[in-house]
Structure 1
């Protein structure tokens, strides 16, 4: 590969879920859907790699009628996924200035798909910046 003709971007995604998912669960998939031409065409990335998960305890407090403090504990899991996407500049138009993407979370076991497109604004990386 001629590295002078490549653009790369690195994405790390954190997903907050309310139930623990087995780290080897192949029914869960996180991908990117991205475009280089303002959604005239788009590309689905390969699956993002799951790095780790973090268990976070959230507690809510309330007072009972006997004035003793009660705590209800619930747990959330934060999963981290990452991917480096390599874009070949030969496939890019000369007027390429930005990359737009959305995050796609698929749960094949429960037939569920969720798209995070930054509240319809998409996530944007400009050609002149090193960070999104």
Structure 2
């Protein structure tokens, strides 16, 4: 098995060496050896880092991501948590879409003043983006 130097892992994964050291301290990844002071990793670390990056992008904490690895370091994805996160992201997308539409309406509203725009008034009275846009 060819080991990868921490610099090569950082370059190939896009994860900074400081983050690699931090992930190792947390137990998310494990170095296989050292060459001098430089950590050496097995090639499986690239898959693990991809999962960590994906998990973080989806809003999972590092502690939650840690639970997505089995004892052997291989992915063991909790499908129920993935469904919950997907549902939460879907709700967030709906809210952000409403906000985007509200901002576009306010920006393009032909009323002489935004305060004269009935839809903008409803938006302000509702205090949220869930008002009809």
TM-score, L = length of structure 1: 0.21
Larger Rg: 2
Please state which structure has a larger fraction of its residues in strand.
1
TM-score by length of 2: 0.21
Q: Judging by fraction of residues, say which structure has more helix.
A: 2
